[in-house]
Amino acid sequence: MKTNITICLLGCLSLALLSACQKKIALERPLLLSMVDSVSEDDFNVESTFTNPLKSSGADPWVSQKDGKYYFTYTQGSKLVLYETTAMSELALAKYDEAWVPPTGMPYSKNIWAPELHFLSGKWYIYFAADNGSNANHRMYVVENSSADPMQGTWTLKGKVADSTDQWAIDGTVVEYGGQLYMLWSGGNAGAAPQRIYIAPMSDPWTISGPRVAISSPSYSWEMNGSAINEGPQPIINPGGQLLVVYSGSGYWVDTYCLGLLTLQANGDPLNPAHWVKTSTPVFSMNAASGAYGPGHNGFFKSPDGTEDWLIYHARSAAGGGGRNARIQKFTWNMDGSPNFGIPVAINSPVTKPSGEPIRYVYKKATWSIAGYSSQELNNNRIATKIIDDNVLTPWIARYSSPATSYPDHWIAVDMQDTIPVDGFIFVQKDGDRKIKDMEVLVGNDNATWESLGTIQLLNLHPNKQYFTLPVRKQARYFKLVPVSGHDTQPQPGLAEVSAFILD
């Protein structure tokens, strides 16, 4: 397995920090000699929101959730990939794994679409559509992994998943309902319209054991923009135990691609088309003001504490085409048991994090200063103080204007002015080249004696915040950053911003 390690050194020690009545943060550990008596709430900016899109790519997004972890995947075309995170709002920082690459020259070697990860009967399965290079030959396939951790172990092809007709099929998913496992997918005549939603029973995670039944065909005008298509079926059981299927209507390439809803009547048979009721209007649609064009192909997940329902979907940020990116937003339930998705939330606008994700109290840096550095670039004003100026467009670059210096002799130290509690650090990479890959982090109280907290790995991203969370809280006045290697061949590293935080 090929795994790219990210910066996440998880295992945070969450502590109660805020006292509503005194507006102070009480420090439960004994204060060091130089420690201020308390830290005022005014010393922090509360980081409790995120913005969409989560990733600049992300067509046909899917999330599976197990044991406090989220596993994300999406259409990459030539392979199956997984991303692991404990906080969906920080998906851009997720640990990455290239799970399975098909051999060449097979019926499933190309055009791998809409993968979904499911945990069934004690094993992991990824369902996906694939062909041999011709869309008319798209069929559903599944790979299996017996490892408890889907980011580890070996994925083995179990084979094609098809009913007796063995016709064109994409967007397969599974659901257990009433003690029976079912598969749902979108099918058509060699990929030609109309595409319908089918369901069939399964005897095991890779075998369809009965005839397919069409439970939805394009019948409303909003399902026929671009082409007459129903696809991307996503089952969900509402709080009343009723089975629903949210699906995508119209061609994914049009701005009016949207979500529709099928509802199984009370005590209904999923294999009886007459027991399914289609809502006559979309339940989630394009919203130009939000920068959400063609919102669709969704999935569902719960917040970390299990109290909230969340929708994941893809959309384009501009009209008339372009790449699809992954987004999330919370939804609620109507009195009749149907989901209330609202309208797509605006891109680049703050959204409250899913309940149970870490809330960080980020120290303000107005009084911070640079305690020392190995080098800085004077000619372009990319000097040491730029690392704490709260401007991601003004980086520090660790080199003399002339001559340049190289790894591993660079370092920078920051004075936070008081010995304060720290649960972790936030880094923002500079734009362009010279991004840091490996960096040692040290803390101290006298700018001379240092305790190494280890070497972390930063992703090649800008301007995303990247988090280094300590296993245990530290008390420190100074911290020191020592770049060890970079993401390119440039020998002089750079960094846009650094901050420190404590956790709620």
Residue 412 sits in a domain whose CATH number is 2.60.120.260
| Domain contains 393 | yes
Query: Could you tell me if 303 and 379 lie in one domain?
Result: no
Q: How far apart are CA 360 and CA 500, in angstroms?
A: 9
36 and 127 in a common domain: no
- Extract the tokens encoding 104: 């060449």
At residue 361, what are phi and psi to the nearest 5 degrees? -100, 105
Among 351, 375, 394, the domain boundary falls at 351
* pLDDT in the model for residue 470: 95
Q: Is residue 204 part of a domain?
A: yes
Sheet holding 139-145, edge to edge: 110-120, 123-131, 139-145, 156-160
User: Which secondary structure element, helix H or strand E, spans residue 340, and what is its range?
Assistant: strand 339-340
**Ramachandran category for residue 133: left, alpha or beta (phi over 0 → left; psi -120 to 50 → alpha):** left
Q: What Cα–Cα distance (Å) separates residue 403 from each residue in 136, 296, 396, 400?
A: 61, 54, 16, 6
- The residue among 200, 336, 332, 229 whose CA lies nearest residue 279 is 336
| Domain interval for residue 445 | 2-47+361-503
Would you give the end-to-end CA distance of the chain in angstroms?
A: 35
Helix (H) or strand (E) run with residue 85 in it: strand 80-85
Domain total of the chain: 2
Same domain as 468, residue 325:
no
168 within domain boundaries: yes
Are 204 and 279 within one domain?
yes
- Are 265 and 413 contained in the same domain? no
Strand partners, 482: 440
Clarify whether residues 275 and 418 are in a common domain.
no
State pTM to two decimals: 0.87
pLDDT of residue 395: 97
State the Cα–Cα distance between residues 348 and 92, nearest whole angstrom: 14
Q: Is 108 left (phi over 0), alpha (psi -120 to 50) or beta?
A: alpha
Q: Tell me the residue length of the chain.
A: 504
Task: Choose, from 60, 163, 223, 497, the residue flagged as catalytic.
Answer: 60
Told to judge if 231 belongs to the known catalytic residues of this protein, a careful annotator would answer yes
Sheet (strand 2-4) strand order: 2-4, 95-100, 80-85, 69-73, 62-66
| 356 lies in some domain | no
Taking the CA atoms of the chain, what radius of gyration do you get in angstroms? 26
Angle at 290 between CA 218 and CA 355, to 5 degrees: 95
User: Are 91 and 354 contacting, i.e. CB atoms less than 8 angstroms apart?
Assistant: no
Whether 208 and 99 share a structural domain:
yes
10-residue stretch averages of pLDDT, the chain, 504 residues long: 36 32 32 43 91 94 98 97 97 95 98 98 98 97 98 98 97 97 96 96 98 98 98 98 98 97 97 98 98 98 98 97 95 98 97 96 96 94 97 93 81 96 97 95 97 95 93 96 94 95 91
Which amino acid makes up residue 365? K
Answer for the pair 233, 197: CB distance below 8 angstroms, yes or no.
yes
User: Active-site residue among 231, 357, 423, 438?
Assistant: 231
Same domain membership, residue 210 and residue 275: yes
Count Cβ neighbours within 10 Å for each residue of 420-429 and write b for 16 or more, e otherwise: bbbbbbbbbb
pLDDT of amino acid 39: 64
Q: What are the phi and psi torsion angles at 320 (to 5°)?
A: 85, 20
**Phi, psi angles (nearest 5°) of residue 31:** -80, 140
Please check whether residues 254 and 317 belong to one and the same domain: yes
pLDDT score recorded for residue 405:
77
Domain boundary among 351, 379, 414: 351
279 in any annotated domain: yes
Question: Residue 226: which of 250, 247, 249 has the closest Cα?
Answer: 250
Q: Assign 491 to helix, strand or coil.
A: coil
Q: What is d(CA 321, CA 257) in angstroms, rounded to the nearest whole number?
A: 11
Same domain, 302 and 273: yes
- HEC-encoded secondary structure of 130-158: EECCCHHHCEEEEEEECCCCCCCCCCEEE
Tell whether 74 and 216 lie within a shared domain.
yes
Cα distance between residue 454 and residue 452, in whole Å: 5
- 60 assigned to active site: yes
CA distance 209 to 200: 7
Name which of 449, 462, 448, 450 is nearest 497 in CA terms.
Answer: 462
Query: Does 57 lie in the same domain as 16?
Result: no
Give the residue carrying structure tokens 């990733």. 55
